């Protein structure tokens, strides 16, 4: 429409800066900052990314200079589950939030959140 955006002070807004998460495995962009797992591939490979939306509607992504993906945790196999009462297993997929002790912890949080 060609109508410029203005701040409450009357200054013109040239571009919008926003933060999103990008999956470095499949390069999908997630708009929800609370997600831990990619919705397309299901991996725990989301990284914070800065984007700006230009006046013509194009999106520009900004990464750190000399960005490299950290390979820590990808070289060696996963450790065996120890079991026991206070078992803190690794989260490998988003469905594990709905199983076992995490399910009850989530229900407890929601219960106290309503008060």
Q: Is 33 left (phi over 0), alpha (psi -120 to 50) or beta?
A: alpha
pLDDT of residue 41: 87
Q: What is the pTM of this model?
A: 0.60
| 18-35 average pLDDT score | 88
pLDDT above 70 (res 78):
yes
d(CA 115, CA 111): 7
């Amino acid at each position: 429409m060609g109508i410029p955006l203005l701040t409450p002070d009357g200054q013109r807004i040239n571009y919008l800066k926003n933060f999103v998460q990008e999956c470095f495995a499949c390069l999908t962009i997630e708009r929800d900052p609370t997600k831990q797992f990619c919705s397309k591939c299901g991996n725990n490979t989301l990284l914070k990314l800065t984007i700006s939306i230009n006046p013509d509607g194009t999106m520009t992504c900004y990464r750190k200079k000399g960005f490299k993906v950290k390979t820590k945790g990808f070289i060696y196999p996963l450790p065996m589950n120890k079991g026991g009462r206070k078992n803190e297993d690794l989260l490998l997929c988003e469905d594990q939030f709905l199983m076992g002790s995490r399910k009850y912890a989530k229900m407890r949080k929601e219960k106290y959140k309503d008060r």
